[in-house]
Amino acid sequence: MTAALHTSTLHSLPLLARGKVRDNYAVGADRILMVASDRISAFDVIMDQPIPGKGQLLTQMALWWFGQLQDIVPNHLTGESPESVVAPDEVAQVAGRSMLVRRLKPLPIEAVVRGYLAGSGWKEYQQGQSVCGVQLPPGLKNASKLPAPIYTPAAKAALGEHDENITYERTVAMVGPELAVRIRDVSLRLYRRAADIALAKGIIIADTKFEFGLDAAGELVLMDEVLTPDSSRYWPLDGWAEGTNPPSFDKQYLRDWLEQAQVGGQPWNKQVPPPHLPDEVIEATAARYREALRRLVGEA
């Protein structure tokens, strides 16, 4: 494993934006180099310490999933080598952790699909037996499998702010009825395919989010990352039980630790600055990402 990369510093390409994890650079007018750093965020705050190898693991997993799903909807990959568009002294920063993708018009919707009741969905269900306007049957518990996967979109928020859960009707108002239907139906197809693949490998994908853009012809394209532990809730099948918080391969371990962490002798208020991550927390988090990739695609 190479040294951890908290922030990329490419000089040969113009920086477009830094997200919570990815640094995006312009490659001409029609492509973007997405560099997955080893940054990790929780509660919408980026931690000061990176998780070594995380960017490579996320990229390998996303590329693998794009391959599994490419017959359902086009994706943003160009098929070109990321190393081919940077200077020789920058190759180490992009190797194994980057994707060279088409530049699209991003849609302002997080296409969330839930197959199980967890997280904010469980909290919302307890208040009114519904999630994002989708009515659910009574008697469900934390981690219950839903009768069928449900589409519960969110409106994208600015960096550092929380995405806002919205109703399907709101997405119709945002992008129009035809595109709203397409996003919903494609998202459900993607989730069902991925959930079946993962289940055969001993992993439950409790929920996930997809991001889409439009190409120059107005065609819907799957973009950003897909089905990684950063965008999905991964549970080991052998650790799942209704009425519990199953162990996870995603960031939940880090979130649980942060809930007990202190800054300046006080419980962390989920604002900057974040707590300092001990070495054992960094390694335990990295181990969960590695295990998710190992179970899905074999040894990395």
Q: Which pLDDT band, with edges at 50, 70 and 90, does 156 fall under?
A: confident
Percent of the chain with pLDDT over 90: 89
Q: Provide the 8-state DSSP code for 7.
A: S
Domains and CATH numbers, the chain: 1-103 (3.30.200.20), 105-239 (3.30.470.20)
Q: Which pLDDT band, with edges at 50, 70 and 90, does 165 fall under?
A: confident
Q: Which pLDDT band, with edges at 50, 70 and 90, does 281 fall under?
A: very high
Tokens of 267: 């419980």
The mean of the pLDDT values for the chain is: 94
- Tens of pLDDT, residue by residue over 204-261, are 999 999 999 999 999 999 999 999 999 999 999 999 999 999 999 888 889 999 999 9
Residue 252: per-residue pLDDT: 82
Tokens of 203: 């992993």
For residues 270-289, one letter each, b for 16 or more C-beta atoms within 10 angstroms of the residue's C-beta and e for the rest, the string is eeeebbebeeebbeebbebb
pTM listed for this prediction: 0.93
Residue 162: per-residue pLDDT: 66
Q: Residue 216, class by beta-carbon neighbours within 10 Å (0-12 exposed, 13-18 middle, 19+ buried)?
A: exposed
The pairing of beta strand 220-223 with beta strand 45-46: unpaired
Residue 25: per-residue pLDDT: 98
- Tens of pLDDT, residue by residue over 1-19, are 468 999 999 999 999 999 9
Tokens of 97: 């952790």
Of 69, 40, 68, nearest in space to 52 by CA = 40
Alpha helices in the chain (DSSP H): 54-69, 91-94, 119-128, 168-175, 177-199, 252-260, 279-297
Average pLDDT rounded to a whole number, residues 130-149: 96
- Tens of pLDDT, residue by residue over 26-72, are 999 999 999 999 999 998 899 999 999 999 999 999 999 999 999 99
Q: Which pLDDT band, with edges at 50, 70 and 90, does 160 fall under?
A: low
Residue 206: per-residue pLDDT: 97
Average pLDDT rounded to a whole number, residues 63-91: 98
